[in-house]
């Protein structure tokens, strides 16, 4: 498997965690989003959206991080990232959606770049924008984890929701969001900081990190 990504991409970070939890080896091809490398013709031929991540598998290309994670779950079911019960799976997917659909798209690199270049925002303005969308999402996740969580977002084993949560918390630190109001999220983050899969997937340890 070949994972096309960028060291600081939250979406690629999710997939690295998922691959690690599944115990699947992969090689990495980096694309520096700051220089627009993801728009190069050879990569656009693989992923016409010109975004990361993309996963090459046996001549096929899968794009969009959540689709990749779901594909991993279907094709490599052990160890599972989703619980067995359909209602429980829906709860986990709802947590994934809060991050992947409601929070992350509003603070990814292309949005932040637009805030700076098109609307003249400095770093404090960017931080305020990011926090504006992270806080309600974190409020919802904190409440949901209070109902269905354990050591991790759902129960006592890391899973699909944690693949998305941990990169979003990393992003929160980048934008100076105070995580004090969400003790359950912080407890999961602390647990991930000691888990070898999450440690290996951390942006700072990627070969293209700078």
Tell which CATH classification among 1.10.10.10, 3.40.50.300, 3.40.30.10, 3.40.190.80 matches the domain 2-79: 3.40.30.10
- Helical spans, DSSP H, in 9-122: 10-22, 41-46, 65-75, 86-97, 109-117
pLDDT at 179: 98
What distances in angstroms separate CA 183 from CA 134, 139, 141, 142, 192, one per listed residue? 15, 11, 11, 8, 14
* Location of each CATH 1.20.1050.10 domain in the chain: 86-197
pLDDT at 114: 96
CATH number for region 86-197: 1.20.1050.10
* 97-151 pLDDT, tens digit each: 999 999 999 999 999 999 999 999 999 999 999 999 999 999 999 999 999 999 9
* 54-66 pLDDT, tens digit each: 999 999 999 999 9
* Location of each CATH 3.40.30.10 domain in the chain: 2-79
Only one residue has tokens 């659909």, namely: 101
């Amino acid at each position: 498997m070949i994972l096309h990504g960028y060291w600081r991409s939250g979406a690629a970070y999710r997939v690295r965690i998922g691959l690690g939890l599944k115990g699947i080896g992969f090689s990495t091809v980096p694309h520096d989003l700051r220089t627009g490398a993801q728009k190069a013709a050879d990569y656009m031929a693989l992923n016409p959206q010109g975004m990361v991540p993309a996963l090459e598998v046996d001549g096929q290309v899968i794009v969009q991080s959540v689709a990749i994670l779901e594909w991993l779950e279907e094709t490599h079911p052990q160890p599972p990232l989703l619980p067995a019960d359909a209602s429980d799976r829906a709860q986990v997917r709802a947590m994934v959606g809060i991050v992947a659909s409601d929070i992350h798209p509003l603070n990814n690199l292309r949005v932040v770049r637009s805030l700076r270049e098109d609307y003249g925002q400095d770093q404090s303005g960017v931080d305020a924008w990011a926090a504006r969308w992270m806080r309600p999402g974190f409020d919802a996740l904190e409440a949901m984890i209070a109902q269905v969580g354990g050591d991790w977002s759902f129960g006592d084993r890391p899973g699909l929701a944690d693949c998305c949560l941990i990169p979003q918390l990393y992003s929160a630190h980048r934008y100076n969001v105070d995580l004090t109001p969400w003790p359950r999220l912080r407890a999961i983050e602390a647990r991930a900081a000691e888990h070898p899969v999450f440690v290996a997937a951390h942006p700072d340890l990627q070969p293209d990190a700078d």
